Amino acid sequence: MEQYPDASSRSTRARLKRMIPNTVWRRGSDAYWWWRNRGNHQLAAMFGTRLRSDRERLVAFRDRHRGERCFVIGNGPSLKQTDLSLLKEEFTFGMNRIYMIFAELGFSTTYFLAINTLVIEQCASEIRALRIPKFLTWRSRRWMSGDSGTIFVDTDYRGPEAFSTDLTGRVFEGGTVTYVALQAAYWMGFQEVILVGVDHRYSTQGPANATVVSRGEDPDHFDPEYFGRGFRWQLPDLEASERSYQLARAAFEADGRRIVDATVGGQLEVFPKIDYKSLFAGQGDA
């Protein structure tokens, strides 16, 4: 979810809600949130050329990797127990602040995705510096305008819940950027998608999608500075993510493709598990 009001705004909102009839409030509230988080973005797309041109750029990626395999790299602590050097010659998707590990690895992911505007707003300069294809939500255009390396995608976190096989249309976010990466991998034609670093557990507790400010080191990602002190971020909605992952599995399997989970110690149970090192059996043998 996006666009959470501050404490003062919440207080004003509560007072207004007590004064306005429930039916009127619900209709007005729905209209307000649609406009703020969807409507104005659609209007900007209608009267601008950037999203149209980026849709044309997306067409060039369709089935580019037909029949190949790729790795979708999450940002969980398990990455510290994963030999990522094995991925140097693989096709990979990285997300959010994955670039924090690039210097250590000595290479970057093949593709990059980000859909959460809190992350993009706070990390815009770092994301701009990436020299790999970047797929970002259209809602982030205010921070990424003028960046030729960015390809905007019309993502939306509100229903209907669906798995999109067409990246040029509306793409449901499904509660996690990983779900968008799976839709991108499908669009590109990958036969097999392997998840790593998708731990699917958080020690930080609170209401799903609530915006919080980090008070210290981050225990829920591969680097303690990932969402370090002062960083604003939104708590995960693991149930929503699981519903989306089920949709992704069904879509891949219906097309004779598959998603497997090679996360070390991961708690996600939607996809078949596979041993990470077994995926590279025979590499380096004489």
User: Residue 48: what pLDDT?
Assistant: 61
Instruction: Output 236 or 285, whichever has higher pLDDT.
Output: 236
User: Residue 4: what pLDDT?
Assistant: 39
What is the C-alpha to C-alpha distance for residues 25 and 31, in angstroms, rounded to an integer? 10
CA distances from 12 to 9, 15, 41, 211, 224 (A): 5, 5, 26, 18, 36
User: Residue 23: what pLDDT?
Assistant: 75
- Provide the whole-model pTM: 0.86
- DSSP class of residue 37 equals I
Buried b (16+ CB within 10 A) or exposed e, 203-241: eeeeeeeebbebeeebebbbbeebbeeebebbbbbbebb
Contacts of 75 (CB under 8 A, 6+ apart): 95, 96, 97, 98, 197, 221, 222, 226
Residue 153 pLDDT exceeds 90: yes
Cβ atoms 189, 66 nearer than 8 A:
yes
User: Residue 3: what pLDDT?
Assistant: 37
Cβ atoms 111, 70 nearer than 8 A:
no
Tokens of 103: 């210097």
Residue 281: pLDDT band by 50, 70, 90 thresholds?
Answer: confident
Return the percentage of the chain with pLDDT > 90, whole number: 77
Summarize pLDDT for 164-197 with one digit per residue, the tens: 999 999 999 999 999 999 999 999 999 999 999 9
Sequence letter at residue 256: G
Summarize pLDDT for 23-66 with one digit per residue, the tens: 765 666 555 554 455 555 566 555 567 889 999 999 999 999 99
Residue 285 pLDDT exceeds 80: no
The domains of the chain are located at 48-278
User: Residue 158: what pLDDT?
Assistant: 84
Summarize pLDDT for 88-98 with one digit per residue, the tens: 999 999 999 99
